[in-house]
């Protein structure tokens, strides 16, 4: 499902001394099935932006279209929108409340008034997607599980709504490397399997570089940069000036390029760097 | 010379549930930390690193073995407050360790507990806030600060107690990259300029790279220990533990497998550039 | 509605009243409350109004701001008025159905409502001119002499401080959890009272759990910073009583003295 954001501005506490422009004339188009990385430091407006896509916040001005639904229009049924757009907040495990894992994941589908059998199927399916064993965990209390598992239960709770668009706000915050890799793998698996639209908010340039099709960089409520990771990470100076970085490996290649112009610096992962450096060394030896 | 922290044969057992199942969170751990050292402990959640940290502050006491802080045994109850003043502690969640509604009042909380006279507390609060670069926020409410700023307030609250050592239990886990950098820079400055011993617990390997010494924990045990170069040269072992290594270290490891002659202990971009250029 | 409540809010203007010793302010407020119940005639009320108005003027807090604070309490004041007007025995003025209204009732209802209005205005002025920290400090000091009879003065003050500290944090968290559940299709706004109350479970359970976790972590952090109760504790900001405090205290004492004299003689 596609998203079109046209000229969206959002002002917090309008007409008061605390008035702040959180979003300032935002224009974004996201195609169906795209995997988007949304980056920007705290306070850049990215959290405000993603809450707009789910109808939790209404823009002060501007238009947002999700699929063929103009969500900023009059008489929009927000319930319809929430079926389409799933939003995983930061530290989503803090929203768990039911006695069992099953019931918690079933909360969303229940609110959609689905039949018992449909709910059951969805709980099984979403638990499988986040690699939680249905039989052994369904009756467990979510509060007895480990931090990483709790987070996966919470994500399953959103997946069970079967959203066409999945938005995740820093899904790996606070997790250790193992937990982080598991979650990211599952998001990638999900995207590959269903070809749904995914928007991933993250601070980790390494993770973004590994996963996404396109990057949107926000700063001060505006879009600072957008484009393919290779293009965006070429602008390391500009990223640094707004408090962001580039993956260490991209930084390495940039420096090597300065030493020898024959090296191809558009590299995003260690694997790519390895191939390029081997090519470079071997070509030098041949010469 | 007397060790700042000496952990000797420490085992820690606790009951994990109502059925009385016993978990061994620490298994016969031995660690020495010298005065002025910067030690980073990395490991997964549940590896026992936080449990170890709480032992240094006498918040937990060993089931077996002993922990000495500047020669004081944490088992001696009468030393508890001296130990906590000597080895201050900063926790993970910035929101859950600030007590007062105004920044300077919070920094004063520790010294007030120690019974320091009012005039002296004022001096200490001002100095501590200056050290962490937060003096301009002294009369603000903590809820108006960012996560990184709150953590620096927490650090100021600890140094106002004039400790010899600070133990930080994943202080940056909930921060964004710029907050993380500010906190790490602050800790490094304390270590360098005030000669405060630092034990930093983290799962960000970036923070381990610049430490004097790195200790890797897994499942209640120490599995690797040494300088960052020694530890990160064990790429295969770290990866099997599911821990990160710097991307350039990883790249060097991969290139070595292809027969390229590179040293094992490359940690930074500049080192890698230099080594590769020599190969040419 | 929530933002209309001015009781408990702080309105800094830097006035002389703001700079007063919180202990003195609490004691004067106490005297003021007692005096409200001593007054029984018009002249008495004139003294009270004069006192309250001059205090408000010196404090530089806008009168409209204090009056706004009465809005959420209008119902309470209304109920007090009704109870007094219908429940007081005396000379009947007129009847409505089973209810009789007496002269004494009218008089009583009017003055009770007035008392309540003055009570709220006076106590709002205390909180508006005193930061929460100063207020808790003041309460702790005033309660200190009662420690011997088992009043946990320090603990009470500490509890208040922590509560004040966590109000913004918990409000933020409530907002976040609410949004997260709405995103999962929860409905907090429609339905009857029972279904609405039920609908709050997904909000309240996570909120409670996180509050307990916070309490646990905070307790540990406090212990790590050598907190061991109020014994031998010092304070960075010591309370100091100055000339203006003694002056204000004398004015307060004068007020109550005048009112007592007024009550006895007139």
CATH number of B5-228: 3.40.50.2300, 3.30.390.50, 3.30.1490.20, 3.40.50.300? 3.40.50.300
A225 and A261 in one domain?
no
pLDDT score recorded for residue C6: 55
Provide the mean pLDDT of chain B.
Answer: 92
- Give the chain B residue nearest C168 (alpha carbons): B143
The span from the CA of B168 to the CA of B152, in Å, is: 12
Q: Which helix (H) or strand (E) holds B69?
A: strand B64-69
The bridge status of strand A214-219 relative to strand A197-201 is unpaired
Interface of C with A (CB under 8 A): 173, 176-177, 179-187, 201-202, 205-206, 209-210
Q: How many CB atoms lie within 10 A of CB B148?
A: 24
CA distance B201 to chain A (A): 12
Q: Using the predicted structure, report yes or no on whether residue A104 has a pLDDT greater than 80.
A: yes
- Give the confidence band of A16 by pLDDT, cuts at 50, 70, 90: low
What part of B 50-79 touches C (C-beta under 8 Å)? 57, 59
Buried b (16+ CB within 10 A) or exposed e, A156-172: bbbbbbbbbbbbbbbbb
User: What is the interface size between A and B, counted as CB pairs within 8 Å?
Assistant: 84
**Which residues contact residue C133 at a Cβ distance below 8 angstroms, ignoring those fewer than 6 apart?**
B100, B101, B102, B105, C161, C164, C237
Closest partner residue to B178 (CB to CB) among A41, A178, A281 is A41
**Helices B118-131, B147-159: crossing angle, 10 deg rounding:** 140
CA angle B197, B199, B205 (to 5 degrees): 130
Give Rg (Cα) of chain B. 20
Average pLDDT over residues C217-230: 92
**What percent of chain A has a predicted confidence (pLDDT) above 90?**
66
Over pLDDT 90: what percentage of chain C? 26
| Residue C236, pLDDT above cutoff 70 | yes
Among A187, A202, A229, residue at a domain's last position: A229
* Yes or no, beta carbons of C227 and B113 under 8 Å apart: yes
Query: What mean pLDDT do residues A109-115 have?
Result: 91
Distance, C-alpha C136 to centroid of its chain: 13
CA of C202, closest CA in chain A: separation in Å?
6
Which residues of A are less than 8 Å from C177 in CB distance?
94-95
The domain tally of chain A equals: 2
> Are residue A107 and residue A45 in the same domain, yes or no?
yes
- Are the Cβ atoms of B176 and A252 closer than 8 angstroms? no
Tens-digit pLDDT profile for residues B31-77: 999 999 999 999 988 899 999 999 999 999 999 999 999 999 999 99
Cα separations in angstroms, A32 against A36, A87, A161, A169, A215:
11, 17, 18, 19, 15
What is the model's pLDDT at position A287?
55
Residue A3 near residue A65, CB atoms below 8 Å: yes
Mean pLDDT score of chain A:
90
Would you call B17 helix, strand, or coil by DSSP? coil
| Distance in Å, alpha carbon of C132 to nearest chain B alpha carbon | 8
- Examine the domain organization and report whether A43 and A131 are in the same domain: yes
User: Would you call C224 an interface residue with chain B, using a CB distance cutoff of 8 Å?
Assistant: yes
User: Does residue A255 share a domain with residue A172?
Assistant: no
Residue among C227, C232, C235 whose CB faces B118 most closely? C235
CB pairs under 8 A between B and C: 95
A146 and A276 in a common domain: no
- C3 band by pLDDT with thresholds 50, 70 and 90: very low
Question: Taking Cα atoms as reference points, which of B149, B211, B206 lies closest to residue B183?
Answer: B149
Residue C83 confidence (pLDDT): 85
SS3 at position A140: coil
Put simply, the answer to whether B269 touches A251 (Cβ < 8 Å) is yes
Lowest mean pLDDT among A66-75, B165-174, B176-185: A66-75
Neighbouring residues of A6: CB distance < 8 A, sequence distance ≥ 6: A27, A62, A63, A64, A65
Query: Would you state the structure tokens that stand for residue A120, as one six-digit string?
Result: 């059951």
Residues A41 and A146 in one domain: yes
Please provide the DSSP assignment of B170-230 as one string.
Answer: STTTTS-HHHHHHHHHHHHHHHHHS--EEEEEES-HHHHHTSSEEEEEETTEEEEEE-HHH
Radius of gyration of chain A (CA): 21
Which range of residues forms the domain containing residue A273? 247-287
- Which pLDDT band holds residue C135 (cuts at 50, 70, 90)? confident
Using CA atoms, how far residue B175 sits from B171, B172, B185, B216, in Å, is: 8, 5, 14, 22
b/e sequence B114-137, b meaning 16+ C-beta within 10 Å: bebeeeebbebbeebbebbebbeb
∠ CA B67-B72-B77, rounded to 5°:
85
Touching A (3+ Cβ pairs <8 A), the chains are: B, C
C125 in helix, strand or coil? helix
Q: What phi and psi values does residue A66 have, to the nearest 5 degrees?
A: -115, 120
Q: Which residues of A touch C205 (CB under 8 A)?
A: 97
Whether C9 has a pLDDT exceeding 80, the answer reads: no
- Tens of pLDDT, residue by residue over C136-146, are 889 888 988 88
Is the predicted pLDDT of residue C256 greater than 60, yes or no?
A: yes
User: Which residues in chain C are closer than 8 Å to B109, comparing Cβ atoms?
Assistant: 222, 225, 227
- Could you tell me the pLDDT band of residue A161, with boundaries at 50, 70 and 90? very high
Pairing of strands A61-66, A69-70: antiparallel
Helix (H, G, I), strand (E, B) or coil at B34: coil
CA A114 to chain CA centroid, Å, is 27
Residue ranges covered by each domain of chain B? 5-228
User: Does the pLDDT at position A71 exceed 80?
Assistant: yes
Distance of CA B270 to the CA centre of its chain: 26
Most B CBs within 10 A among A218, A243, A277, hence the mutation to make, goes to A277
pLDDT digits (tens, 9 = 90+) for C18-50: 989 999 999 999 999 998 888 878 888 888 999
- Extents of the domains making up chain C: 2-130+239-265, 147-224
CA B276 to chain centre: 34
Let me know if residue A59 belongs to a domain: yes
A219/chain C closest Cα distance in angstroms: 23
With CB atoms and an 8 Å threshold, state whether B99 touches C237: no
pLDDT above 70: residue A43: yes
The yes-or-no verdict on residue A175 having pLDDT over 70 is yes
Whether residue A117 sits in one domain with residue A16: yes
Q: Backbone phi, then psi, for C236, in 5-degree steps? A: -70, -50
Which pLDDT score, from 0 to 100, does residue C1 have?
Answer: 35
Q: Which pLDDT score, from 0 to 100, does residue C2 have? A: 43
Boundary (domain end) residue, out of A229, A261, A279:
A229
In this structure, are A223 and A256 located in the same domain?
A: no
Beta-carbon separation of B45 and A179 below 8 A? yes
User: Which pair of tokens denotes residue B45?
Assistant: 């959640």
Please tell me the predicted confidence (pLDDT) of residue A262. Answer: 86
| pLDDT score for A41 | 86
Min Cα distance B226 → chain A (Å) is: 21
By C-alpha distance, which of B149, B161, B30, B164 is closest to B107? B161
What is the pLDDT, as a whole number, of residue A138? 92
């Amino acid at each position: 499902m596609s998203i079109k954001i046209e000229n969206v501005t959002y002002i917090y506490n309008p007409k008061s001394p605390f008035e702040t422009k959180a979003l300032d004339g935002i224009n974004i188009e996201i195609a169906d099935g795209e995997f988007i990385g949304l980056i920007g430091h705290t306070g850049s407006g990215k959290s405000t932006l993603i809450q707009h896509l789910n109808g939790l916040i209404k823009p002060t001005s501007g238009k947002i279209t999700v699929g063929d639904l103009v969500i900023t229009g009059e008489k929009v049924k927000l319930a319809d929108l929430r079926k389409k757009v799933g939003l995983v907040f930061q530290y989503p495990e803090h929203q768990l409340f039911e006695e069992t894992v099953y019931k918690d994941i079933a909360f969303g589908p229940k609110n959609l008034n689905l039949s018992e059998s449909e709910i059951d199927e969805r709980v099984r399916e979403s638990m499988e997607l986040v690699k939680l064993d249905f039989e052994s965990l369904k009756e467990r209390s979510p509060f007895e599980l480990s931090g990483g598992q709790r987070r996966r239960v919470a994500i399953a709770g959103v997946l069970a709504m079967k959203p066409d668009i999945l938005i995740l706000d820093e899904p790996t915050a606070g997790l250790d490397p193992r937990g982080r890799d598991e979650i990211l793998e599952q998001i990638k698996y999900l995207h590959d399997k269903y070809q749904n639209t995914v928007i991933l908010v993250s601070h980790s340039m390494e993770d973004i570089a590994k996963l996404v099709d396109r990057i949107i960089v926000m700063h001060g409520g505006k879009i600072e940069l957008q484009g393919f990771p290779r293009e965006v990470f070429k602008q390391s100076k500009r990223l640094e000036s707004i408090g962001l970085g580039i993956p260490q490996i991209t930084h390495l290649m940039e420096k090597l390029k300065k030493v020898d112009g024959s090296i191809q610096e558009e590299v995003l992962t260690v694997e790519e760097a390895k191939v390029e450096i081997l090519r470079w060394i071997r070509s030098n030896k041949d010469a | 010379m007397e060790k700042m922290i000496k952990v000797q044969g420490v085992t820690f057992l606790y009951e994990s549930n109502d059925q009385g199942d016993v978990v061994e969170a620490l298994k016969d751990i031995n660690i020495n930390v010298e005065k002025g050292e910067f030690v980073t402990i990395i490991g997964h959640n549940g590896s026992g690193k936080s449990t170890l940290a709480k032992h240094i502050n006498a918040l937990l006491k060993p089931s077996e073995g002993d922990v000495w802080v500047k020669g004081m045994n944490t088992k001696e109850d009468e030393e508890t407050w001296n130990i906590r003043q000597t080895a201050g502690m900063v926790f993970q969640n910035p929101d859950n360790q600030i007590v007062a509604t105004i920044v300077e009042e919070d920094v004063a909380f520790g010294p007030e507990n120690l019974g320091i006279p009012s005039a002296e507390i004022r001096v200490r609060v001002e100095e501590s806030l200056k050290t962490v670069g937060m003096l301009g926020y002294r009369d603000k409410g903590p809820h108006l600060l960012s996560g990184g700023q709150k953590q620096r307030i927490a650090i100021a609250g600890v140094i106002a107690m004039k400790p010899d050592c600070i133990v930080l239990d994943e202080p940056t886990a909930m921060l964004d990259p710029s907050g993380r950098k500010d906190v790490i820079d602050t800790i490094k400055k304390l270590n360098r300029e005030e000669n405060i011993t630092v034990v930093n617990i983290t799962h960000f390997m970036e923070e381990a790279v610049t430490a004097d010494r790195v200790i890797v924990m897994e499942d209640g045990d120490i599995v690797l220990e040494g300088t960052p170069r020694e530890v990160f040269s064990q790429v295969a072992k770290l990866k099997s533990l599911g821990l990160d290594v710097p991307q350039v270290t990883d790249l060097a490891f991969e290139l070595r497998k292809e027969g390229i002659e590179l040293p094992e202990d490359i940690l930074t971009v500049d080192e890698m550039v230099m080594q590769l250029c020599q190969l040419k | 509605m929530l933002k209309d409540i001015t009781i408990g809010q702080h309105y800094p203007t830097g006035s002389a009243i703001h700079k007063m010793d919180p202990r003195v302010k609490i004691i004067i407020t106490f005297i003021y409350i007692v005096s409200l119940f001593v007054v029984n005639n018009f002249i008495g009320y004139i003294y009270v109004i004069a006192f309250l108005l001059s205090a408000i003027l010196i404090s530089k807090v806008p009168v409209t701001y204090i009056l706004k604070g009465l809005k959420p309490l209008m119902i309470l004041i209304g109920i007090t008025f009704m109870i007094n007007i219908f429940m007081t025995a005396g000379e009947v003025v007129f009847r409505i159905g089973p209810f009789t209204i007496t002269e004494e009732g009218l008089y009583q209802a009017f003055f009770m409502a007035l008392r309540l209005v003055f009570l709220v205005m006076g106590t709002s002025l205390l909180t508006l001119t005193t930061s929460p920290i100063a207020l808790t400090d003041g309460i702790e000091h005033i309660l200190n002499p009662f420690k011997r009879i088992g009043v946990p003065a320090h603990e009470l003050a500490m509890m208040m401080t922590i509560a004040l500290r966590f109000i913004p944090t918990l409000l933020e968290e409530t907002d976040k959890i609410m949004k997260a559940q709405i995103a999962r299709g929860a409905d907090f706004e429609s339905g009857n009272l029972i279904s609405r109350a039920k609908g709050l479970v997904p909000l309240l359970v996570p909120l409670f759990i996180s509050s307990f976790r916070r309490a646990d972590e905070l307790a540990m952090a406090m212990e790590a910073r050598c907190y061991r109760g109020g014994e031998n504790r010092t304070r960075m900001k010591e309370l100091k009583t100055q000339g203006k405090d003694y002056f204000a205290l004398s004015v307060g004492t004068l007020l109550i003295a005048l009112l007592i004299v007024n009550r006895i003689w007139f």
